[in-house]
Every structure is written in structure tokens, then in C-alpha cells.
Amino acid sequence: MTFSHFLTITVLVCLVYPLSASDISLGEMESLKALRESLSQRRDIIPSWFVLGISPCNWTGVKCDGLLITELDLSWTVSPLNLPFPRHIGELRSLKNLNLSHCALTGEIYPDFWDLENLEILDLSFNQLTGMLPPSIAKLKYLRQLVLDDNNFSGSLPSTIGQVTQLRELSLQSNSFSGNLPLELGNLQQLLALDISNNKFFGNLPSSLGNLSRLLYFSARQNKFTGILFPEIGKLTKLSILDLAWNPLTGPIPSAIANLKGLSKLDLQNCRFTGNVPEELSLLSNLTYLNLAQNDFDGELPSSIGRMVNLVYLIAPSSGLSGTIPSQLGNCKKLKIINLSFNSLSGHLPNGLAGLESINSILLDSNQLSGPVPEWISNWKQVVSIVLSQNLFTGPLPPLNLPLLSLLDVSANKLSGELSVEICNAQSLTTLLLSHNNLSGSINGIFMDCLNLVDLVLSDNNISGEMPAYLGDLQLITLELSKNKFSGTIPDQLWESETLMEILLSDNFFEGRISNAIAKVSTLQRLQLDNNLFEGNIPSSIGKLKNLTNLSLHGNKLTGEIPLELFECTKLISLDLGANRLTGPIPKSISQLKLLDNLVLSDNLFSGPIPQEMCSGFQKVPLPDSEYVQHYGRLDLSHNELEGPIPASIKQCIVVAELLLQGNKLNGSIPEEISVLINLTLLDLSFNSLSGSLVPQLFSMRHLQGLVLSHNQISGYIPDNIGLEMPSLAKLDLSYNRLIGPLPPSVFNSRSLTYLDVSMNSLSGSLCVEYASISALLVLNASYNQFSGTLDDSISHLTSLSVLDLHKNRFSGSLPMSLSTLDALTYLDLSVNHFQNSLPCNICNIEGLTLANFTNSFSSHIPESCSMAKPCLLDQQFPSRHEYPSSPLVSRASVFGVAVGVTFISLVLLICLLRWRMLRRDGINNNSANDMLVMTPESGSSDGLLVKKTRDPLSINIATFEHPLLRIKAADILSATENFSKSYIIGDGGFGTVYKAFLPEGRIIAVKRLNGGHLHGEREFLAEMETIGKVKHENLVSLLGYCVFGDERFLIYEYMENGSLDFWLRNEADAVEALDWHTRFKICLGSARGLAFLHHGFVPHIIHRDIKSSNILLDVNFEPRVSDFGLARIISACESHVSTILAGTFGYIPPEYGQTMVATTKGDVYSFGVVMLELITGRSPTGQADVEGGNLVGWVRWMVAKGREHEVLDPYISGSATSTDQMLRVLAVARLCAHDDPWKRPTMLEVVKLLKQAKV
């Protein structure tokens, strides 16, 4: 270039930028102009860059040093740039400070960028940058701060990172970095902060990190680091925060940790540390936060913990602790939060804890603590919540002089004695949970001064006396006094309450009439007065309870007709008037209950026809568009005096799952319209006068599990399609009818069938089980028919058979030897047939066989070589008439013997039935399966069944119409997981480890091995069974079974092929392609439906407590299933209960939990809002820099407040205008869910509705 050309350019530059010629070099000016042009499409975001006459050094975000551009900061922009990473930045070689955070930049960084050798500060966080860090990063020899948080960087860290020796801060959190950490990181000896959290690093943490002697902050949480924690960590003596949570580390915590004298926060939750909690922790005198939750420690909490005088938070639930709580813990005077729940702690509460004057919340639930609740807890003047539930505390409840106490939960203990009025010294008390104890006495005057009490739960105690009138004057929302010994009448003052939403008084001795004053409690939603002594008419004033959703008056002495006014309670979802003395017809005005899905009118004296209008309800469920597989939609009119035909309008009850019409006087044929009820799981029409033939359509109902048509006048043939199109059928009872023809062999092709009774008909032909695939069949009764032919060896296919009754038929030929291989038999009756030849020797020697009857069945004698067991009844046991023709005693003895046998069998069956019903009501089976795993059925039944012999007892009670019980020996579980090898681990939860298991027949299941055992483990186990086992929904993970084996507890779940949502959002290379917006929205809506069912579709309602993306599993079609009900608890209408794990999962915890420790449905809604934000943004719930605590919710709020909503959307899936608009609508729903004020959050039903609207 000639001098004249240079002069010309200089003049032009001076004309355009009169102030810049002396401030900036020409080369960097041209590069900056080129950068501006590449950003020109977003000139509205950086307007100052496009105003003529302004020097580049005065552009917003640009700083110069003389002729050099030294700083470029675009993080301030109101909206994101949404552009590829600018190429020309790499030409600004004088840059020292570059901040491009929150710009939504995409793509990879150009190689020449790493030539900016003068960089001292580089912040590229909160973008969508990809690629790997190149070895050329070593060129940035002056770099002091490198922040790459929340991008999509991948690959391993280059070893050359160790050459950037001036680094003070290295933050790489929330990316997809993987591989081993390079040893060269230990060369960064100037490093003050190292954050590699939320990545996919694996292998051991390198011991060279011990060289970082100036390090103040180190976080490696949520990676896949394994092995022991390197002892050299003790060299990091200046560390203030150490966070290694959520890594599968093993071995003990090294004693060298005692050298970290400056440590203020130590988070080791959800690792797999073993051994004792080290005594050396007590030397960390500056520690304020200690989290050891969900580890595998063994032994006690060391008494030396009392030296940690600055400790504020002690969090160690589900950590394997045992022994006693050290009294020295009371020396930690600054403690505000203690959570030691779900351990095996025992002994008394030590007196040393009396000195914890700063304590705010203490959670010790689900341990084995015993002794009295000490009176000195009244020293805790700052305490807000005390949770001591599910322990062994005894004695009376002490006075509570605690002015700030809001929540007290001492439920499920062994408290006794009477309650004291001093309980109301806790003037702020809002929730008092004392259920499942042995408290006695009356409550007259006890709670009169508890003016702030909202929830009073005293169920399952021995409290007696009358209900005091003052309860109606309190501000109660929930009053639960069920299962006590209250008597007398309900005072009218209770019905004058202006706040009560739930009144549960079942299983007491209340009497008298239900007062007309009931109409005054207008807020009432749930009323349960069942199993008392109420009499008289149902008051007509009950119709004024317009908010009533659940009403149960079951099991009283109520008389008269149902008042028509009751049907003005149009919000009723469940109505149970069963087991009373109600009369008259079922009113047609029942059609007003449009939301009804559960109606029980059984065991009354109702007469007349079933009204055509019956099914005006049962058409709309509270949860939109949900298909309930089970336990939803019960219509029970059984055991009345109803007559006439079953109306064809029954087909309109589309959500009915259980239709029970047995024990009436119904006639006519079975309407084929019943087959329209596709959700039907149980149909019982027995003990009526129904006639006609079997409707073939009945045997095509795919969800039907129980079909009971016995004791009618049904005639004709059994349809040939039986068993072919009913994959769920478990019980089939066609007995006591007029059926003819053969029993179709197809019935034995039903793999789920456990109970088959076709007795007392006129069936004929052979009994063909040659192609049987129903190894689960437990009961087969074909007695009193005209079956003929031989029994062949195919009978041995029925390997689970417990009851086989073929008596009073025309069978002939030899009895197959293989019959003796049915070692599960408890009852065998082949009497009154025409068998020939000898009885096989070993049949009567089957272990556990209660009785075998062969009288009048065999033509030849029993071989003398056979050693017969006592229960066998045989012709040869009694003298024949040819031998004793004149003795009348012979015939009497024979008759007497048979009579005794039949009586004995009847008694056995009756005892089994009564025992089963008792256990089902109690909800607990105390039997242990010492060598057997039993898969649970998926519903309940009122029938009993002979179970397997006592040497191999079942873990649960068996209902006769349920899904088949898959039996797996404990040895098979060990074999399927190679003795619980780590290679089979597919997840960890708060209660245990989950293994993928391959059963011998090829089926894949998930086995959850619960942490710990002993008493608290058994209660956890039974509690999960009582909730999970009953909850069935298409968007919930189904529990298939459970097992008790010594101290071990196992849960068996469906195996979900695509793992967890968390895995796909952050750990799967194909996630972008697999999780497009359509799929994410499907996951969002389906998960919402599953959670809504827990909150609203199941009675009593359930709080999940730990909603997070890792607890949403995906099947092979990416259909979502909400999983891990290990923390779920039954809750009351006010929808609150104590959270059993304070910390929960960081990033998902609602803000109110930190103070109240109360888990609510609105808390679940908040957590689900975070999951929705993960789906929308593709980001982790934590690690969002310093914005509002570093969580995703705070970051989204910050972005939206700046008008940058579009930036929060995951750029990989927000391409089209349609998907973007829909994502923004879902974002609005997510923000509602994540509102700080729980009362402003929607319910999950509302969330489902809003999401459906967002889809339009």
C-alpha cells in the first residue's frame, strides 16, 4: 500500500469516527467493525454500536486502553443474540476481559479464538456452545478466570489445562464433559475456586488435586466419580466449601479430612461412603453445614460431634446410622436443623439435647428411638417443627411450652396415657399428628386454647368419651378422630365451623341422629362417619354442603330413603351409604351427580329397578383424559332387593372399573352393552336370577380381571373365545348355572388365570389342559358336572395348583402319576368318579396337603406297598357292604367319615376367608417369606383362597380375582443380579439401590433393594406396600411385587427401557434427536397426569415429596411414568404432612420447606414446575451462577424480568414458530407452578388443564 492510499483511508476514518483515530489501532477497528456487521441482524439489542459518530471505545460493553481494545462485554444485552459464536472476536488480540455470558451463542468456538494470548478473564457461561476444549488453551498463559458454565461442551479436559498456571477460578459446571480428570489440574496452584459439578466425569478423583493448596471452593457434585476419596485432600487446608454429593464414591471418609480446618460446608450426600462416620470430622470446628444423607455408614454418630460448636445444619437421613444419639450433640448450640430420619437409631433422646436453644427443626422419624418424649423439649424456644413419628416412644406426651412450634408429629409410636391441656402452651401450633398410638382418656378441654390449630389427627388410639363442642370453635381444617372409642352424639357446634374441610370420625361408637345442623359447615369437602352407630334418616339438609366431594356413612343403622336433597351436592366424587338399613328405590335424581366415580349402596334394603339414570355420573373423572387401570370407578349395588333387568344404559358408566350387582333379584339376560365398559376390571353378577346365554362380548374385555356369574340360571354353551382375548382375567366363576357342552380348551391359555370355578353345571366332554399355559392357576373346581374321559399327564402343567376339585363327574381310566408332582396342592377331591387301576402312591404324601378325597372313585384297591398319609379318604379305609352286610354301623361310619371330611374342609376354607379379610382390613400381613418372592396382584377382592403350604408362606395375601402371582426364589434374585453385582445397578434412591434383573424365563424387572432392615425397615416396607400396591395409573410406575427375606426388603417394579428423564436431558448423546419438543411435551403432560392422580385421583391422597427428572422414567415409547413412591405418605384433606427428608433434592425444593418442614401437594407442584423448566430449557435445576441462589427457577425469573423469555428455550428444539409458541405457553405454566407463594400455585388438576390448553 502506498503512502497516499494510507493517507486517504486515514482521512475517511477521521470523517466517520472523529474521536477514534487517536484511540484505536486500524487493525482492531476493522475487526470490531466486522464483528458489528456479523451482529447487524440484532442491532436492536446493541443500538449504540450502530449510531454514527460514536467511537467504538464508547460502544456499550467496549473498553479501550489507548489504541487497544481490552474489554468486550455483551452479557448486559436485554435479549439474547441467538447467533453462532462470532468469528471476528478471535482477531481482537489485545482483549484482556471477554464476557459473552447469557448471549445464547451456539456452535463451536473457532480455533483461532484460543490465540487471544492476553486474555485474563473469559466468561462464556449460559450459552449453547458445543465442542471440546482444545489443547491450545495452554496459550492463554495470563488467564485468571475461566467460566464455561451451562453450555454443551463435551469430551475430556485436555492435559494442557495444567499449563494455564495463573488460573484463580475454573468453573465448568453443567456441561457434558466426560472422562478422567487430568492429573495436570494439580499444577494450577493459584486456583481458588474449582467447580466441575453436573458433568459426566468418571474415574477416581486424582490425588494431584491435593496440590491446590490455595483452593477455597471445590465442587464435583453430580458426576460419576468412583473409588475412594483421595487422602491428599487433607492438603487443601484453606478449603471453605467441599461438595462431592451425588457421586458413587466408596470406602470410608479419609481421616485426613480433619486437616480442613477452614471448612464451613461439607456436602457428601448420596455417595456410597462406608465405615464409621469418622471421629476426625469433629476437628472441623468452623463447619456450619454437614450433609451425610444417603450413604452406607455403619455404626453410631460419634460423640465427638459435640466439638463442632459452629454447626448449624446436620443432615444425615437414610445414612445407615445406628446406636444412640450422642448426648454431646447438645454442645452444638448453634444447630438449627437436625435431620436424622430413616436410620436405625435407638435408645432415649439424650438429655444433652435440651440445650439446643437455637434449634428450628428436628426430624428423627423412622428410627427405633424409645423411652418417653422428654419434658425438656420445652427448652427449644425457637423450634418450629418436631418430627418423631414411626419410633418406639412410650409414655404420655409432655407439656409443650414452645411459643413458635407449628408442627408436631409423634404418630406411629407407643405413646400412652391422657393428653394434657398444656399441649396448647405451644400457641403457634397448627399441625398436631398423634395417630397410631395408645393414647387414652378424653379430650374434653384439651385443645380449647389451641387457637391456631389447623390439623388435628388423633386416629388409631384408645381415646374415649364424647366429642367436645369446642372443636367447632377452633380454626380446624382437618379433624381426624377415626378408630378410637368416642361415643355419644356429635355436638351441633361442630357443624358451625367456618373452616373445616375434612371430618373423619369412622370406626367409633358415635350414636344418635345426624343433625340437620350439618348444613352449616359449608366448607366441608370430606365427611367420613362410617362404622359407627348412627341411626334414623339421613338429614335432608346435607344437600346444602355444596363443596362436599367425599361422603361415607357406611356401616351404621341409618334407615329411610335417600333424601333427594343429597343429590344437590353436585361436587360429590365418592358416595358410600353401604351396610345400613336404607329402603326405597334408588332415586332417579342420582343423575345430578355428574362427577361421581365411586358409589356404594351395598348391603341395604333398596328395591325396585336399577334406574336408567344411574350412569349420568361415571362419565367424567376429576383427572382429565385419564384411563384408570384399576381401583377407580366403583359401582356397588350388591346385596339389596333390586329387581328387573340390568339396564342397557349401564354402558354409559364408562369409567366404572368395578361393577358389583351380586345378591339381588335381577332377572333377564346379561346385556351385551356391558362389554362397552372397557375399563371394567371386576364384574360380579352372582346370586341373582339372570338367564339366557353367556354374551360372547364379555370374553373380549381385555382389562377384566374378575368375572363372577355364579348362582344364576344362565344356560347354553361357554363361548369358544374364552381365554383368548382376556389377558388380564384372573378369576372366572361360572358355577351354579345351567351351562352345557364342553369347557373350551382355550380357557387354559389365559396366563393370568388363578381361579376357575365351573362347578354345579352340566358341562360334558373331556377336561383338556394339554396346551395349558396357566401355570399360575391356584384353584380349579369342575365338580358336579358330566365331564368324562381320562386325566392325562398334562394336568402337571398346572404347577401352582392349590385346590383341585373334580368330584361328582364321570372321569375314568388311570390317574396320572404326574399328579403327585403338584407339590403346591392343599386340597384334592376326585371322589365319585370312575377311575380304574391303582391310586399312585405319592399323591397323599404331598407335603402340605390338607385333605385328599377319593371315595367312590377307584375300582381297585390301594397297593399294600403304599404308605398313605392321614388326610386321604378312601373306599378301602372302611369295611365294604359285602364284608359287613348286616351291620348298620358300617354305612353310618362311612357317612360320618365323609361328613367329617367335608366339615373339616369347610372350616379350613372359612378360616382362610376370615383370616384373609382381617388382614386385608388391617393392611398388614405379618407373615414373612423366608425363601420366596411373591409378585403382588394389582387389585383387591373380598374372596378368600387356600394359600400355599406353610413351609413356603406368601409375603402377601392373595385375592382370588387378581393378576397371577409370580413366585421367584431368593436364590433366583441373587442369580439374576449376580449377587447384587454393581454392574446391574441402574439407579439409587433414598430408600435403596435399584438393580436390573433378568428372570429365567427372559422377563426383565427392576429390583429395589431397600436400605437397612430391622423394625424401621419393615415399617417403611409395609408403608410403601399400603400406598404403591394400590395405586395404578398409566403414568405411574407399577409395583409388581415385594419380598421380605430376613432383614432384607425388596420391591419389584416394571423395568423402564429408556431409563430416567434426567439421563436423557443431560447424559445421552442422542437426547436432542430423541427428545424433540413433541416428545418433551408428551412427557410433561403425562407426568402431570400421573402426579395429579396421586394428589386427586386416589383416596386418601398422596404426596410424592421428591418429584425430579430422575424420578420420571420412560418406557420404550418415551411414555412417562412417575416413580419412587418411597417417600410418599397418606395425607389429609388439608394436604399436608411432614417431609421425611429435609434436604430432598437440591434445585427442586420449594422455598417454604426450609422453615416449615411440611410436605404438601403444593410443594410437589413447585418441584414439578422445576421439571417443566428442565424440559423447556434443557438446563440443570442448579448451577445457574449467582442468580437467586444459583437455581434454574431464579435464572428463568431473571431472564423473564429482562424480557428475554426466548433465551430460556432450549435452542435445539425451538426451531419452528409453532414449537416456540407452545414452549412459551408451557413456560408460563411452569412459572406458575414455581411461584414462591404456595397458595398461588395451581393444583395438579389445574396444571393438566393448562397444559392441554397450551397444546392447542
User: In sequence order, what DSSP letters do the residues of 36-57 get, joined into one string?
Assistant: HHHTGGGTTTSGGGG-TT--GG
- How far apart CA 1196 and CA 227 sit, in angstroms, is 36
Find out whether 296 and 321 touch, Cβ atoms under 8 Å.
no
Note the pLDDT of residue 1104. 82
pLDDT (0 to 100) of residue 1029: 63
Q: What one-letter code names the amino acid at 40? A: S
pLDDT in tens, 162-195: 999 999 999 999 999 999 999 999 999 999 999 9
Residue with grid cell 399355559, as numbered in its chain: 773
Confidence check: pLDDT of 876 > 60 = no
Cα Rg, the chain, nearest whole Å: 36
Instruction: Report the DSSP beta bridge partners of residue 346.
Output: 324, 368
pLDDT per residue as tens digits for the range 689-726:
999 999 888 888 888 888 999 999 999 999 988 877 88
Query: What are the cell numbers at 1117?
Result: 415409547
Residue 898, SS3?
Answer: helix
Nearest to 69 by CA among 83, 84, 85, 56: 56
Task: Give exposure, 871-889, as e/b (b: 16+ Cβ within 10 Å).
Answer: bbbbbeebeeeeeeeeeee
Alpha carbon distances (Å) from 331 to 151, 303, 935: 45, 10, 49
Cβ neighbors of 868 (< 8 A, separation 6 or more) are 844, 845, 862, 874
Contact, 1137 vs 1156, CB < 8 A? no
pLDDT in tens, 1114-1149: 988 889 998 876 444 422 333 333 333 343 466 788
The Cα 1083–Cα 1073 span in angstroms is 15
Residue spans of the domains in the chain: they are 250-359, 921-1054, 1061-1255
pLDDT for 953: 27
pLDDT at 403 over 90: yes
Q: Give me the pLDDT at residue 767, please.
A: 85
How far apart are alpha carbons 119 and 115 in whole angstroms? 9
Place of cell 349402596: 601
Higher pLDDT, 841 or 133: 133
75-86 pLDDT, tens digit each: 887 677 888 998
For 152, 175, 1160, 1196, 1245, the CA distances from 421, given in Å and listed in that order, are 61, 58, 28, 49, 40
Residue 1131 burial (CB count, 10 A):
21
Half-sphere exposure of 725 (CA within 13 A, CB side): 11
Residues ≥6 apart with Cβ < 8 Å to 955: 925, 927, 928, 929, 932, 933, 934, 1042, 1043, 1044
Residue, of 802 and 896, whose pLDDT is higher: 802
Distance CA 806, CA 680 (A): 31
Strands 992-998 and 985-988: antiparallel
Nearest partner of 616 among 652, 640, 585, judged by Cα: 652
Q: Give the chain's mean pLDDT.
A: 81
Give the position of cell 354402558. 651
Which of 250-264, 1160-1174, 1191-1205 bottoms out in mean pLDDT, i.e. has the lowest?
1191-1205
Cell of 836: 380304574
Q: Is 250 helix (H, G, I), strand (E, B) or coil?
A: coil
The whole-number pLDDT of residue 1024 equals: 53
CATH fit for domain 921-1054, picks 3.30.200.20, 1.10.3720.10, 3.30.930.10, 3.90.1150.10: 3.30.200.20
Strand segments, DSSP code E, in 743-824 are 755-757, 762-765, 779-781, 786-789, 803-805, 810-813
Please check if 1008 is assigned to a binding site. Answer: yes
Contacts of residue 1241, defined as CB under 8 A and 6 or more positions apart, other chains included, come to 1162, 1165, 1166, 1169, 1232, 1233, 1234, 1235
The yes-or-no verdict on residue 119 having pLDDT over 80 is yes
The pLDDT value given to residue 329: 95
Architecture of the structural domain at 250-359: Alpha-Beta Horseshoe (3.80)
Q: Tell me which residue has cell 404438601.
A: 1160
Residue 166's nearest CA partner among 120, 212, 221 is 120
Look up residue 499 and give its DSSP letter. S
Query: How sure is the predictor about 1073, in pLDDT bands with cuts at 50, 70 and 90?
Result: low
Most confident of 55-59, 60-64, 664-668: 664-668
Least confident stretch, 265-274, 941-950, 1154-1163: 941-950
User: Is it true that 921-1054 and 1061-1255 share their CATH fold?
Assistant: no
State residue 318's pLDDT score: 87
CATH assignment of 1061-1255, among 3.40.50.2000, 3.40.640.10, 3.30.565.10, 1.10.510.10? 1.10.510.10
| pLDDT, tens digit, 9 for 90 and up, residues 519-574 | 999 999 999 999 999 999 999 999 999 999 999 999 999 999 999 999 999 999 89
DSSP assignments along 1095-1112, one per residue? IIISSS-EE-S---GGGE
Give, in degrees to the nearest 5, the angle at Cα 274 between 1061 and 224.
Answer: 35
Instruction: Please give the positions annotated as active site.
Output: 1106
User: Which of 303-312, 815-824, 1040-1049, 1238-1247 is predicted least confidently?
Assistant: 1040-1049
pLDDT for residue 746 is more than 50? yes
Q: Return the amino acid letter for 937.
A: P
Higher pLDDT: 965 or 26? It is 26
Paired strand residues for 707: 683, 732
- What is the mean predicted confidence (pLDDT) over 464-470? 95
**Which range among 19-23, 139-143, 627-631 has the greatest average pLDDT?**
139-143
**Model confidence pLDDT, tens digit, residues 416-430:** 999 999 999 999 999
Rounded to an integer, the average pLDDT of 1028-1041 is: 74
DSSP 910-948: HHHHHHHHHHHHHT------SS-EEE--SS--S------
Q: Is the confidence at residue 912, as pLDDT, over 70?
A: no
pTM here?
0.69
Q: What is the mean pLDDT of residues 481-503?
A: 94
What confidence score (pLDDT) does residue 866 get? 47
Q: Who wins on pLDDT, 207 or 897?
A: 207
Beta bridge partners of 534: 512
pLDDT above 50: residue 646? yes
Q: 442 pairs with which residues across the strands? A: none
Percentage of the chain modeled with pLDDT above 70: 79
CA atoms of 562 and 584, how far apart (whole Å): 8
At 344, give phi and psi (nearest 5°): -120, 35
**Residue 28 confidence (pLDDT):** 77
Lowest mean pLDDT among 156-160, 485-489, 535-539, 958-962: 958-962
- Residue-wise DSSP of 1138-1184: E-S-SS-STTT--TTHHHH-EEEHHHHHHHHHHHHHHHHH---SB--
DSSP state of 789: E
Confidence of residue 88 (pLDDT cuts 50, 70, 90): confident
pLDDT digits (tens, 9 = 90+) for 331-371: 999 999 999 998 999 999 999 999 999 999 999 998 999 99
In terms of pLDDT, which residue wins out, 452 or 797? Answer: 452
pLDDT band at 936, cuts 50/70/90?
A: very low
Distances (CA, A) of 887 to 229, 517, 676, 760, 877: 90, 76, 63, 34, 16
- CA of 801: how far to CAs of 731, 756, 827, 849, 937, in Å? 14, 11, 9, 11, 17
The phi and psi torsions of 419 (rounded to 5 degrees) equal -80, 150
DSSP letters, 511-534, are: EEPPPGGGGG-TT--EEE--SSEE
CB crowding 373-385: b at 16 or more within 10 Å, else e: bbeebbbbeebbb
Mean pLDDT computed over 1221-1240: 89
If we measure between CA atoms, which residue out of 694, 685, 744 comes closest to residue 714?
Answer: 694
DSSP symbol at 425: G
User: What is the number of H-type helices and E-type strands within the chain?
Assistant: 14, 78
Look at residue 1245 and give its three-state secondary structure.
Answer: helix
- The better pLDDT of the pair 945, 566 is held by 566
pLDDT at 925 over 50: no
Closest CA to 844 of 827, 864, 865: 827
Percent share of the chain, pLDDT over 90: 49
CA angle 597, 1025, 938 (to 5 degrees): 50
More confident residue, 249 or 1019: 249
496-505, 1012-1021, 1052-1061: segment of lowest average pLDDT: 1012-1021
C-alpha distances (whole Å) from 1220 to each of 387, 1174, 1213, 1224 are 46, 15, 8, 6
Q: What is the pLDDT of residues 1168-1212, one digit of tens each?
A: 999 999 999 888 887 655 454 458 888 888 888 888 888 888 877
Report, as an integer, the average pLDDT of 379-393.
94
pLDDT reported for residue 33: 80
1186-1198 pLDDT, tens digit per residue, is 454 458 888 888 8
What are the CA-CA distances from residue 346 to residues 322, 324, 417, 1014 (Å)?
7, 5, 22, 11
Over residues 112-134, the mean pLDDT reads 94
Residue 1001 has what pLDDT?
A: 67
Residue 308 — φ and ψ, nearest 5°? Answer: -85, 75
d(CA 594, CA 615): 9
